Every structure is written in C-alpha cells, then in structure tokens.
Structure 1
C-alpha cells in the first residue's frame, strides 16, 4: 500500500484508495464541484482519495476533439482543488518536458497506457520525486510492466503505482484479465483498477470513443474481490455533455452507492481473512 502522499496517510486506512475525477479539466467551477462531492463521500466512508483531472488531452481520435483549456490554466485549477479540499491531485503527462511543469501543481504524475514504454518520459517523471502512476499498455501483459516499474525505481524514485486499464480484444473492445492485478501486486507496488477506461470501445468510425458504463460496478467489484489496492473512476455530473470520454464515465450521482457496496465487499474479505 502507499505509505504516504501529501494530505493523506494511507496507512491510517484499511480501505482501498480512490483516484477519481473528470477525464479533463473543463474549468474551475466544474472541477471544484466534482471534488467537493467526492470528498464528502470518501470522508464519510474513510476512503483515501486522490483527485484526478487531465490538464491536456493529447491522445484524441480527431483533430477537432477537445484538448484542454490551456496548460497553465488547467494546472492552476488542479492546484486550487488541492488547496481548497486538502487533497492530493493527479494528472497525466505526455512528453518528458511536461514532467517538471506538472509536478509544480500535482502530487502524482500519470503515464498514459500508450506511453508506458517511453523510457525518457518515465525517467523524467521519476526525477521529479513525485508519485508516478503508470497505466498498463493495452498491448502489454501484466508481467511486462515490471520493466516500467524498474525504469522509475532505478532512477531513484520508489514511489510507483501501477494501473490496469484493460487489454485490447479485437479492434473495438477491451477485456480485463484479473490475473494481471495479482501478478502486478507481486512487484511490491500498489495496484489500481481503472474501472472506466477498461470499458471503452475505441476506434469507432465516427472518431468518438464509445463505452459501457453500466458495467463499471462489475469491473470495480471484481477488482476489490481479487485484492486491488485502489480504484480509478472517471466521473462527471453530466457525462453526456462532458468534453472528453463521456461515453464511459460514471455519473457522479451513482458514485456514492457504488463506493458503499465496494466498502462492504472489502470488509467481507477482511473478515474472511
């Protein structure tokens, strides 16, 4: 489990931790609204919480897809979320030069799945001293992720998280192999299940990624059952009108009930052990 992040001592909780927020920072008001709602829920349920939001979306299907509100503006929003709610925050980076810039505002740098083999990017993230959350490539086995972990740790940074976001199954679907969560836990780093991106339906001819959000409960429940340390859930109060990945996000109104169920599963497993 994570020993400590700014604002949270993970060792104080026997619960799973949660990485959640909108896919992209669309503005200050929306980010603060989402953070406030999730903080209220996670505080009550004693779930350690990291707010996530992409300051820029670099991997888009179409040229006219929403990419962000501006790097500095979005990063400042993340900084305000952290200060106002006393939360650690996470954002993804895409090039080595972004690492130091983003690290000034957030506590966790996320490496997108399609970039998880990029050595220079992993090393740059490691050198900031921040936690580095590496998403497993949709094209990689769980076992192959040990090399990504090693790139960070051998760069002098032991603060690594691994997140599974599914594996490509044909051109327009993903599957989750839960054996991979168990295997990656063997690398002695916290392991997270991305419950929303694993339900994407990419490569649509329209250029707009689809999704199956009705199965978020299934993915999350199974992940907790096999011992995931944390969950990654993108959520929005109006997914249909979200500027990025709305098709696979969880409606914010459904988050509390889902987390209550997952806490019960976690407690049942602990009682069994």
Structure 2
C-alpha cells in the first residue's frame, strides 16, 4: 500500500491528482521570485492542479566557484516565508549541511535532500528528525532499488513523510539517461510516492565547461512518459526568460509555455486513474 504524503493542501501519492513542484532553480531577487510564484499559482488554480513552490536559497554544488549560488540561508528563507504566507503556497528548498536543517524546517514545508548528498547518513537523520516531509533526490549514481536503504535511514528516525525523486542516471560523461522502470520499482519497493524531475533529467552535468548545459526541449517528452509510467508528481524548474537565468537556464522551462504542457500531464494522469476504476 503506497503512502500518501500530505503537505498543507497538497496530497501526493497513489490515487491523488498529479501534483506539480515548480519554481526557479535559485532565488535571484524578490521581484522575480514573487512574479514566478504568482504566475504558477494562477495557472495551478485555473487547472485545479496541486502546487508546491520550489526555489533554492543556496546552490552549494555549482560547477564553478564563480557561479551564482543564491542569497544565502537567512535572506533566502525570509523570502520563501513571504511566498508561503502571501501567495499561500507550500514551499520546498534544498538543504546542504546539518547547520541549515533547523532554521530551514522553521520555514519550509518540504526539506529536499540534494542528489549528491542522498547517502550522507548523519545529514539524512538530521533532516528526518525535523518531522517535516523529506524529498530525496535519487543520486545520479544509484540504481532505483538502492533508494530503499535511504528510505530506511529516514524512517529509522520515525519520519515516514518521504517523497522520492527520479532525476536521471549518469550515462557516460556529461550526460544523463532516464530509466522509467525506476518509477514503479521505487514505488513498489518503498511504498513511497515518486516525483519525476523533468528538467534536471535533461541537464548535461558540467557540459558547458564552467557550468552545466541542458536540453530543455526534451523535458516535456520525458515528463509525459514519466506520468504515463505512474509518477505521482512532476518537478520542474521554470523562469520568465531561461536564457538569462542565473542557474540552470539551459534546462529550465519558459513560464509562458507551461499551460498546454500541464494540461497534457493532467490528461495522462486522469487516463491512468480512469483505468484503475
């Protein structure tokens, strides 16, 4: 029996409507972040799709020391709290070290474990002990069945509010490939809902030399396939002008292209539900 994870008014899991986790890769400034959140909220309300807003206050794993990382913990959390209260949206962000966990848990509705840190036991336990929902990005170096050990670590702290995110696996150098079998495998082995990260799955890690490249044009194709494979939610990074984004622009989706894309995902999810009736 699959767990349903409740995050404010968003319910993710088997039998629930498809949820969307969306926002910019990183907080750039207050105006841009708020504008994105408001546009996403309006679209989600119009389509009646559950929405969680995501944005990073710090991208600690950027390729280059010169890359923009974000406003940092204090300023970033203040802005996410503003989005949470004024836009009335649950918010998600990633944490990168134990010292960030407690202050982040005071603001965020979901704490996210970055893919590169998904096996760091002490860090995982610190996040789990907050009692907040935890979104685990499956490392690019892991097989889908390996995620069960990570779930056990979180659950050992008494926290079973766990989401798992498929974001592709390394395929040679600077490239990722998605094995869609991983979605039902992770669901069946752990009983936890699975999110598909549509935009990081088309990332070309380090592929632009001092930054990662990406192929955003393929993200909708992979997302549709993931929902057809049973994904419970879709994660995507979006921006008003991805070519000018300060982080992950090559794999981010333009805000003004989202409505037909979301409608397609919603329709696929409904077909699956109709088949279960």
Per-residue deviation, 1:3: 4.0
| Pair 217,205 (structure 1): closer, same or farther in 2 beyond 3 Å | closer
Partner of 1:85: 87
Partner of 2:263: 260
Q: Secondary structure at the match of 2:195?
A: strand
Partner of 1:154: 156
Q: Secondary structure at the match of 1:143?
A: helix
Per-residue deviation, 1:123: 0.4
Paired residues in the alignment total 272
Q: How does 1:1-273 map to 2 (within 5 A)?
A: 2-9=4-11, 14-186=16-188, 187-204=190-207, 206-273=209-276
Distance 1:143 1:14 in 2: 24
Q: Secondary structure at the match of 1:51?
A: strand
Per-residue deviation, 1:9: 4.9
Output the TM-score relative to the length of structure 1: 0.96
Output the TM-score relative to the length of structure 2: 0.95
Per-residue deviation, 1:4: 1.8
Contact 2:12 2:18 in 1 (8 A): no
Per-residue deviation, 1:205: 5.6
RCO comparison, higher one (Cα < 8 Å, 6+): 2
Contact 1:15 1:46 in 2 (8 A): no
Q: Secondary structure at the match of 1:4?
A: strand
Distance 1:206 1:226 in 2: 34
Q: Deviations over 1:219-245 (max 9, x none)?
A: 110011011001100000011111100
Distance 2:67 2:90 in 1: 28
Distance 2:155 2:217 in 1: 37
Q: Secondary structure at the match of 2:66?
A: coil
Per-residue deviation, 1:71: 1.8
Distance 2:153 2:136 in 1: 11
| Pair 164,9 (structure 1): closer, same or farther in 2 beyond 3 Å | closer
Q: Secondary structure at the match of 2:8?
A: coil
Per-residue deviation, 1:270: 2.1
Contact 2:5 2:161 in 1 (8 A): no
> Could you list the runs of 4 or more consecutive aligned residues of structure 1 that deviate by over 4 angstroms after TM superposition?
none
Distance 1:214 1:204 in 2: 16
